[in-house]
């Protein structure tokens, strides 16, 4: 047996806020109770395979900087896939991560033919099943990579060529079944190339119908095989294509409603995708809650000074406190969790850097969870919002909402009561100060 790549690094324990040990959690105390659930149960956090184990530390201007025993960025032989699997589960276990996530091609050996795809995936899924049993680390979600291979240059489900649609169907069927076998809690679809580079060559109506049909097929298959987890769409406005159909939570809801899927599919909200769409992260969570489609979260952050999907680890507690507040207000996760869809920087090439990144991210979530729970327990914010809408609980407001009053009846009410209502303060600055008291 080869020595583990992470042999020199410890299992990460909770050490308390006073600790100066950089290889310990200061805020994440897995069994600490917060509003009736442990931190572990609230956060359900996951490490993603792709950024930490499949990416080589390359960028558009330069080659990979990460020297790992499984040679990321080089052709993946079955041996390398196995070395990578061992290292990944060693890391998950040392981080005491409850969950992980992966795409088919992150974990499996390279393939040429469709038959080889099936065989290589089956081999790694079987080995992974053993690792899950051995370590107790669970699968938060599985997904198929429908954007990396050159065949998907013009999209997967939205491709002008139905033979490519069929290839995508094969990958999704395979990974949905693999996720079911590995007892995954969810299945994610990110439409990385479901969009267009130029509208000159694109039939929008045709492509949306193809995507709607694809989603319906996935839902049908989920029920056919008895997969009880949630199907999640991950919104993103653009990158790699100029425009993607799943731009944000509200757009996805409209799409789901149009194809009759709004009770079958939820969203996987990613922080950096939200900001790329011109929304705040908490706006996306609040919107998904309001529409009843909140599923899971891809946790990361962008860089406010540029417009890329930089996928950095979260490090801003006040910002994350608002996200956790909305998550808790929506009842928290059921099948979902916080997947760190985040990568260390290209210059952070040491094994230790992977630890610092995940420790920091988990601690930011834990601290924000405590803050958000304190805001809810204090009640001032909730009370303020409830009072703001109190008029709608009265008979008049209810008569409008239930339809007892129509447009004319409502207008007459204003006329006959000679009404002259005044605007009231929204108290934004007071509320911002209030939140800062908790962060």
194 binds ligand XUL (CB under 6 A): no
**Which of the listed partners (Co ion, ligand XUL, none) does 309 bind, with a CB threshold of 5 to 8 Å by partner kind?**
ligand XUL
The pair of three-digit structure tokens given for residue 61, joined into one six-digit string: 């201007």
Taking the complex as a whole, the smallest distance from the CB of residue 341 to ligand XUL amounts, in Å, to: 5
**Position of tokens 């996720």?**
179
Please answer whether residues 103 and 143 qualify as being in contact, where contact means their C-beta atoms are separated by less than 8 angstroms.
Answer: yes
Indicate the residue among 172 and 365 with the shorter CB distance to ligand XUL.
172
DSSP at 259: T
Count interface residues toward ligand XUL (CB under 6 A): 10
Indicate the residue among 127 and 320 with the shorter CB distance to Co ion.
320
Residues 311-330 that bind ligand XUL (CB under 6 A): none
- Burial letters 342-376, b for 16+ CB under 10 A, else e: bbbebeebebeebbebbbbbbbbbbbbbbbbbbbe
Taking the complex as a whole, the smallest distance from the CB of residue 49 to ligand XUL amounts, in Å, to: 10
Residues 190, 214, 253, 340: which binds ligand XUL (CB under 6 A)?
A: 190
| CB atoms closer than 10 angstroms to residue 128 | 23
| Position closest to ligand XUL via CB | 190
Binding site for Co ion (CB under 5 A): 270, 298, 341
Taking the complex as a whole, the smallest distance from the CB of residue 188 to ligand XUL amounts, in Å, to: 6
Nearest to 265 by CA among 297, 236, 231, 288: 231
- What's the length of the chain? 439
Residue among 29, 42, 51, 106 flagged as catalytic? 106
Task: Say whether 303 is catalytic.
Answer: no
Distance (Å, whole) CA 157 – CA 150: 14
| CB atoms closer than 10 angstroms to residue 315 | 13
222 binds ligand XUL (CB under 6 A): no
341 binds ligand XUL (CB under 6 A): yes
Please answer whether residues 359 and 24 qualify as being in contact, where contact means their C-beta atoms are separated by less than 8 angstroms.
Answer: yes
Residues 76-105 that bind ligand XUL (CB under 6 A): 103
**Quick one: how far is CA 172 from the chain centroid?**
18
Taking the complex as a whole, the smallest distance from the CB of residue 125 to ligand XUL amounts, in Å, to: 18
Distance (Å, whole) CA 219 – CA 18: 48
Residues 261-280 that bind ligand XUL (CB under 6 A): 270
**Which of the listed partners (Co ion, ligand XUL, none) does 143 bind, with a CB threshold of 5 to 8 Å by partner kind?**
ligand XUL
Residues 267, 298, 367, 373: which binds ligand XUL (CB under 6 A)?
A: 298
Task: Say whether 356 is catalytic.
Answer: no
**Which of the listed partners (Co ion, ligand XUL, none) does 76 bind, with a CB threshold of 5 to 8 Å by partner kind?**
none
Please answer whether residues 245 and 277 qualify as being in contact, where contact means their C-beta atoms are separated by less than 8 angstroms.
Answer: no
Indicate the residue among 138 and 298 with the shorter CB distance to ligand XUL.
298
Indicate the residue among 194 and 341 with the shorter CB distance to Co ion.
341
Distance (Å, whole) CA 261 – CA 292: 12
Question: Based on the number of CB atoms within 10 Å of its own CB, is 64 exposed (0-12), middle (13-18) or buried (19 or more)?
Answer: middle
The pair of three-digit structure tokens given for residue 227, joined into one six-digit string: 């997969």
Please report the DSSP string for 321-339 in residue order: HHHHHHHHHTT--SS--EE
Taking the complex as a whole, the smallest distance from the CB of residue 240 to ligand XUL amounts, in Å, to: 9
Taking the complex as a whole, the smallest distance from the CB of residue 361 to Co ion amounts, in Å, to: 14
The pair of three-digit structure tokens given for residue 398, joined into one six-digit string: 């209810």
Taking the complex as a whole, the smallest distance from the CB of residue 190 to Co ion amounts, in Å, to: 6
The pair of three-digit structure tokens given for residue 217, joined into one six-digit string: 């097929």
Distance (Å, whole) CA 33 – CA 12: 20
Residue among 51, 103, 180, 221 flagged as catalytic? 103
Rg of the chain, C-alpha, whole Å: 24
Residues 226-255 that bind ligand XUL (CB under 6 A): 234, 236
Nearest to 237 by CA among 303, 203, 284: 284
Indicate the residue among 34 and 168 with the shorter CB distance to ligand XUL.
168
143 binds ligand XUL (CB under 6 A): yes
Mask for 29-58, x = binds ligand XUL (CB under 6 A): ------------------------------
**Position of tokens 């939205």?**
158
171 binds ligand XUL (CB under 6 A): no
**Residues noted as catalytic:** 103, 106
Interface residues with ligand XUL (CB under 6 A)? 103, 143, 188, 190, 234, 236, 270, 298, 309, 341
């Amino acid at each position: 047996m080869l020595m583990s790549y992470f042999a020199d690094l410890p299992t990460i324990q909770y050490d308390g806020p006073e600790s100066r040990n950089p290889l310990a959690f200061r805020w994440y105390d897995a069994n600490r109770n917060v509003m009736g659930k442990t931190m572990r149960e609230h956060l359900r956090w996951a490490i993603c395979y792709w950024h930490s184990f499949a990416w080589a530390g390359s960028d558009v201007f330069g080659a990979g900087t990460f020297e790992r025993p499984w040679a990321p960025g080089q052709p993946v032989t079955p041996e390398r896939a196995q070395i990578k699997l061992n290292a990944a589960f060693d890391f998950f276990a040392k981080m005491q991560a409850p969950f992980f996530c992966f795409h088919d091609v992150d974990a499996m050996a390279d393939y040429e033919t469709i038959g080889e795809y099936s065989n290589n995936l089956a081999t790694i899924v079987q080995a992974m099943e053993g690792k899950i049993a051995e370590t107790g680390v669970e699968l938060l979600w599985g997904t198929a990579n429908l954007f990396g291979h050159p065949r998907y240059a013009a999209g997967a489900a939205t491709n002008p060529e139905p033979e490519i649609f069929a290839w995508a169907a094969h990958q999704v069927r395979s990974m949905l079944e693999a996720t079911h076998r590995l007892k995954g809690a969810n299945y994610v679809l990110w439409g990385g190339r479901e969009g267009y580079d130029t509208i000159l060559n694109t039939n929008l109506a045709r492509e949306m119908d193809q995507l709607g049909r694809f989603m319906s097929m996935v839902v049908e298959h989920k029920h056919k095989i008895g997969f009880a987890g949630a199907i999640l769409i991950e919104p993103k406005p653009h990158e790699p294509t100029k425009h993607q159909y799943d731009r944000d939570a509200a757009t996805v809801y409209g799409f789901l409603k149009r194809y009759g899927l709004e009770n079958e599919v939820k969203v996987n909200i990613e922080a950096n995708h939200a900001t790329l769409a011109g929304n705040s992260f908490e706006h996306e969570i609040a919107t998904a809650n309001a529409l009843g489609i909140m599923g899971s979260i891809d946790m990361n952050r962008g860089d406010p000074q540029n417009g890329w999907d930089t996928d950095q680890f979260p490090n801003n507690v006040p910002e994350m406190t608002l996200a956790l507040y909305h998550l808790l207000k929506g009842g928290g996760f059921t099948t979902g969790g916080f997947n760190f869809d985040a990568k260390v920087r290209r210059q952070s090439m040491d094994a230790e850097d992977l630890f610092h990144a995940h420790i920091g991210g988990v601690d930011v979530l834990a601290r924000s969870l405590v803050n958000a729970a304190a805001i809810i327990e204090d009640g001032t914010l909730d009370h303020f919002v409830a009072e703001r809408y109190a008029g709608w609980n009265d008979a008049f407001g209810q008569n409008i909402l239930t339809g007892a009053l129509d447009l004319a009846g409502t207008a007459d009410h204003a006329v006959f009561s000679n009404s002259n209502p005044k605007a009231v303060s929204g108290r934004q600055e007071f509320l911002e100060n209030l939140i800062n008291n908790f962060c």
